Protein backbone atom coordinates (compact mmCIF):
# COMPACT_ATOMS: atom_id res chain seq x y z
CA UNK A 1 0.00 0.00 0.00
CA UNK A 2 0.87 3.68 -0.07
CA UNK A 3 3.23 5.07 2.55
CA UNK A 4 4.98 8.28 3.58
CA UNK A 5 8.29 8.36 5.42
CA UNK A 6 9.51 11.29 7.49
CA UNK A 7 12.96 10.46 8.78
CA UNK A 8 13.27 13.23 11.38
CA UNK A 9 11.10 12.74 14.42
CA UNK A 10 12.31 15.96 16.00
CA UNK A 11 14.24 18.97 14.72
CA UNK A 12 15.70 21.67 16.99
CA UNK A 13 16.85 24.96 15.47
CA UNK A 14 17.55 28.55 16.40
CA UNK A 15 15.74 31.51 14.90
CA UNK A 16 16.92 32.42 11.37
CA UNK A 17 18.29 28.92 10.77
CA UNK A 18 17.54 27.09 7.51
CA UNK A 19 15.00 24.28 7.80
CA UNK A 20 14.76 21.04 5.88
CA UNK A 21 12.32 18.27 6.81
CA UNK A 22 12.63 15.20 4.63
CA UNK A 23 9.64 13.42 3.13
CA UNK A 24 9.75 10.37 0.87
CA UNK A 25 6.80 8.45 -0.42
CA UNK A 26 5.91 5.10 -1.92
CA UNK A 27 2.82 4.89 -4.07
CA UNK A 28 1.55 3.46 -7.32
CA UNK A 29 0.41 5.91 -9.92
CA UNK A 30 0.82 9.66 -9.59
CA UNK A 31 -0.18 10.90 -6.14
CA UNK A 32 -0.79 14.46 -5.02
CA UNK A 33 1.54 15.49 -2.19
CA UNK A 34 0.70 17.70 0.77
CA UNK A 35 2.21 19.38 3.80
CA UNK A 36 0.13 20.03 6.91
CA UNK A 37 1.12 21.87 10.11
CA UNK A 38 -0.27 21.24 13.58
CA UNK A 39 0.11 23.74 16.41
CA UNK A 40 -0.32 22.64 20.05
CA UNK A 41 -3.93 22.02 21.00
CA UNK A 42 -5.22 22.34 17.43
CA UNK A 43 -6.06 20.13 14.50
CA UNK A 44 -3.72 19.92 11.50
CA UNK A 45 -3.92 22.77 8.99
CA UNK A 46 -3.28 22.55 5.26
CA UNK A 47 -0.03 24.24 4.30
CA UNK A 48 0.23 23.56 0.55
CA UNK A 49 0.05 20.87 -2.12
CA UNK A 50 1.76 19.84 -5.38
CA UNK A 51 0.17 17.58 -7.98
CA UNK A 52 2.79 16.95 -10.68
CA UNK A 53 6.48 16.39 -11.12
CA UNK A 54 8.71 19.47 -10.55
CA UNK A 55 5.76 21.54 -9.26
CA UNK A 56 6.66 23.74 -6.30
CA UNK A 57 4.15 24.29 -3.54
CA UNK A 58 4.60 27.15 -1.09
CA UNK A 59 2.93 29.03 1.73
CA UNK A 60 4.01 31.25 4.66
CA UNK A 61 7.67 31.07 3.56
CA UNK A 62 7.67 27.26 3.41
CA UNK A 63 8.18 25.44 0.13
CA UNK A 64 8.62 21.97 -1.32
CA UNK A 65 9.17 20.63 -4.82
CA UNK A 66 7.59 17.43 -6.15
CA UNK A 67 10.39 15.11 -7.27
CA UNK A 68 8.93 12.02 -8.90
CA UNK A 69 12.27 10.41 -9.71
CA UNK A 70 13.45 10.64 -6.10
CA UNK A 71 9.90 10.11 -4.74
CA UNK A 72 10.44 13.07 -2.43
CA UNK A 73 8.70 16.24 -1.27
CA UNK A 74 11.09 17.85 1.23
CA UNK A 75 9.88 20.86 3.23
CA UNK A 76 12.22 23.88 3.42
CA UNK A 77 12.23 27.36 4.89
CA UNK A 78 15.09 29.79 4.61
CA UNK A 79 14.78 31.46 8.02
CA UNK A 80 12.65 29.93 10.77
CA UNK A 81 10.99 31.85 13.57
CA UNK A 82 9.94 30.77 17.03
CA UNK A 83 6.33 30.89 15.86
CA UNK A 84 7.10 28.08 13.39
CA UNK A 85 7.42 25.62 16.27
CA UNK A 86 4.85 22.93 15.48
CA UNK A 87 4.47 19.40 14.14
CA UNK A 88 4.72 19.07 10.37
CA UNK A 89 3.08 16.23 8.44
CA UNK A 90 3.76 15.13 4.90
CA UNK A 91 0.87 13.32 3.21
CA UNK A 92 -0.16 11.87 -0.13
CA UNK A 93 -3.47 11.32 -1.87
CA UNK A 94 -3.44 8.62 -4.52
CA UNK A 95 -7.11 8.03 -5.28
CA UNK A 96 -8.40 11.52 -4.58
CA UNK A 97 -10.53 10.64 -1.59
CA UNK A 98 -8.19 9.94 1.33
CA UNK A 99 -4.85 11.06 2.69
CA UNK A 100 -1.98 8.87 3.87
CA UNK A 101 0.10 10.71 6.46
CA UNK A 102 3.69 10.37 7.59
CA UNK A 103 4.47 10.07 11.28
CA UNK A 104 5.19 13.78 11.66
CA UNK A 105 8.23 15.91 12.52
CA UNK A 106 8.23 18.08 15.62
CA UNK A 107 10.02 21.39 15.02
CA UNK A 108 11.25 23.39 18.01
CA UNK A 109 12.74 26.81 17.33
CA UNK A 110 14.67 28.56 20.10
CA UNK A 111 14.43 32.36 20.17
CA UNK B 1 -13.42 29.28 5.83
CA UNK B 2 -14.57 25.74 6.47
CA UNK B 3 -15.68 25.03 10.02
CA UNK B 4 -15.45 21.62 11.64
CA UNK B 5 -16.52 21.19 15.25
CA UNK B 6 -16.19 18.17 17.52
CA UNK B 7 -17.82 17.19 20.79
CA UNK B 8 -17.00 16.41 23.45
CA UNK B 9 -13.49 17.85 23.59
CA UNK B 10 -12.51 15.47 26.35
CA UNK B 11 -14.01 12.16 27.40
CA UNK B 12 -13.09 9.61 30.05
CA UNK B 13 -14.72 6.20 30.08
CA UNK B 14 -14.05 2.75 31.48
CA UNK B 15 -13.15 -0.46 29.70
CA UNK B 16 -16.27 -1.88 28.08
CA UNK B 17 -18.00 1.48 28.03
CA UNK B 18 -20.03 2.90 25.17
CA UNK B 19 -18.77 6.14 23.61
CA UNK B 20 -20.02 8.35 20.80
CA UNK B 21 -17.87 11.11 19.33
CA UNK B 22 -19.63 13.76 17.27
CA UNK B 23 -18.46 15.85 14.35
CA UNK B 24 -20.26 18.57 12.42
CA UNK B 25 -19.08 20.53 9.38
CA UNK B 26 -20.85 23.60 8.05
CA UNK B 27 -19.24 23.96 4.63
CA UNK B 28 -21.40 21.51 2.67
CA UNK B 29 -18.46 19.21 2.03
CA UNK B 30 -19.17 15.77 0.66
CA UNK B 31 -16.32 13.89 2.31
CA UNK B 32 -15.85 13.45 6.06
CA UNK B 33 -13.16 11.50 7.90
CA UNK B 34 -12.30 10.15 11.34
CA UNK B 35 -8.63 9.83 12.33
CA UNK B 36 -6.81 8.85 15.46
CA UNK B 37 -3.48 10.43 16.36
CA UNK B 38 -0.90 8.59 18.43
CA UNK B 39 2.75 9.33 19.12
CA UNK B 40 4.93 7.45 16.68
CA UNK B 41 2.05 6.73 14.31
CA UNK B 42 0.93 10.14 13.16
CA UNK B 43 -2.63 10.32 11.85
CA UNK B 44 -4.37 7.09 10.93
CA UNK B 45 -7.68 6.87 9.10
CA UNK B 46 -10.44 4.98 10.89
CA UNK B 47 -13.53 5.51 8.69
CA UNK B 48 -14.71 7.98 6.09
CA UNK B 49 -17.85 8.87 4.18
CA UNK B 50 -18.74 10.62 0.95
CA UNK B 51 -22.31 11.47 1.83
CA UNK B 52 -25.25 10.86 4.11
CA UNK B 53 -25.80 7.14 4.64
CA UNK B 54 -22.44 6.21 3.13
CA UNK B 55 -19.59 4.62 5.10
CA UNK B 56 -16.16 3.51 3.92
CA UNK B 57 -13.63 1.52 5.92
CA UNK B 58 -10.31 3.19 6.61
CA UNK B 59 -6.94 1.76 7.57
CA UNK B 60 -7.52 1.04 11.29
CA UNK B 61 -11.27 0.25 11.60
CA UNK B 62 -11.22 -2.53 14.20
CA UNK B 63 -13.29 -1.70 17.26
CA UNK B 64 -14.96 1.33 15.66
CA UNK B 65 -18.26 1.96 13.95
CA UNK B 66 -19.31 5.17 12.26
CA UNK B 67 -22.47 6.67 10.91
CA UNK B 68 -23.13 9.67 8.64
CA UNK B 69 -26.65 10.85 9.37
CA UNK B 70 -26.65 14.05 7.29
CA UNK B 71 -24.20 15.85 5.07
CA UNK B 72 -23.14 17.85 8.13
CA UNK B 73 -22.92 15.17 10.84
CA UNK B 74 -20.54 12.22 11.21
CA UNK B 75 -20.36 10.09 14.36
CA UNK B 76 -17.74 7.67 15.62
CA UNK B 77 -18.96 4.88 17.90
CA UNK B 78 -16.96 2.77 20.31
CA UNK B 79 -19.37 0.13 21.63
CA UNK B 80 -16.93 -1.75 23.88
CA UNK B 81 -14.14 0.68 24.58
CA UNK B 82 -10.69 -0.69 25.36
CA UNK B 83 -7.56 1.02 26.77
CA UNK B 84 -5.90 0.65 23.35
CA UNK B 85 -8.44 3.16 22.04
CA UNK B 86 -7.10 5.89 24.32
CA UNK B 87 -6.08 8.50 21.77
CA UNK B 88 -6.67 11.92 20.26
CA UNK B 89 -9.42 11.74 17.63
CA UNK B 90 -9.79 14.17 14.75
CA UNK B 91 -12.62 14.68 12.35
CA UNK B 92 -12.03 16.29 8.96
CA UNK B 93 -14.03 17.31 5.90
CA UNK B 94 -13.16 17.93 2.26
CA UNK B 95 -15.01 19.28 -0.71
CA UNK B 96 -13.61 17.46 -3.75
CA UNK B 97 -10.94 15.16 -5.09
CA UNK B 98 -7.40 16.16 -4.05
CA UNK B 99 -8.74 19.20 -2.22
CA UNK B 100 -7.41 20.11 1.19
CA UNK B 101 -8.93 18.59 4.30
CA UNK B 102 -10.19 20.82 7.11
CA UNK B 103 -9.72 19.39 10.58
CA UNK B 104 -11.66 19.88 13.77
CA UNK B 105 -10.00 20.68 17.11
CA UNK B 106 -9.93 17.07 18.28
CA UNK B 107 -11.42 14.94 21.06
CA UNK B 108 -9.14 13.44 23.67
CA UNK B 109 -10.50 10.06 24.76
CA UNK B 110 -9.18 8.18 27.76
CA UNK B 111 -10.29 4.60 28.41
CA UNK B 112 -9.45 3.45 31.93
Per the CB < 8 Å rule, is A44 touching B104?
Answer: no
Q: Which residue has the higher pLDDT, B25 or A30?
A: B25
Q: Which residue, A94, A75, A96, is CA-closest to A24?
A: A75
pLDDT band for A96, please (50, 70, 90 cuts): low
Residues of A in contact with B50 (CB under 8 A): 97
pLDDT at B2 over 60: no
Residues of chain A numbered 16-45 and touching chain B (CB < 8 Å): 32, 34, 41-45
Which residue of chain B is at minimal alpha-carbon distance from A105?
B42
Q: Are A75 and A91 in contact (CB under 8 A)?
A: no
Q: How far apart are CA B29 and CA B72, in angstroms?
A: 8
Give the mean pLDDT of chain A. 95
Lowest mean pLDDT among A66-80, B11-25, B96-110: B96-110
Asked whether the beta carbons of residue B42 and residue A103 sit closer than 8 angstroms, the reply is yes
What average pLDDT does the segment A27-53 reach?
94
Question: For the segment B48-96, what is each residue's pLDDT rounded down to a tens digit?
Answer: 999 999 999 999 999 999 999 999 999 999 999 999 999 999 999 998 7
Cis link prior to B8 (omega < 30° from 0)? yes
Q: What average pLDDT does the segment A21-25 reach? A: 98
Please give the C-alpha separations between residue B44 and each of A68, A75, A77, B41, B63, in angstroms, as whole numbers: 24, 21, 27, 7, 14
Among candidate residues A6, A4, A19, the one with its CA nearest the CA of residue A107: A19
Residue B1 has pLDDT above 70, yes or no: no
Amino acid sequence: GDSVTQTEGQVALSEEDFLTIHCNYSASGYPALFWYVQYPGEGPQFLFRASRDKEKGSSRGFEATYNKEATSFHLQKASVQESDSAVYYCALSNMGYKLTFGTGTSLLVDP
Amino acid sequence: EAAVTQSPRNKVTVTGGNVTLSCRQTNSHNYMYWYRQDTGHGLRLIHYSYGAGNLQIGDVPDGYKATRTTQEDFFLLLELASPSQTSLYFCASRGGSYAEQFFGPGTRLTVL
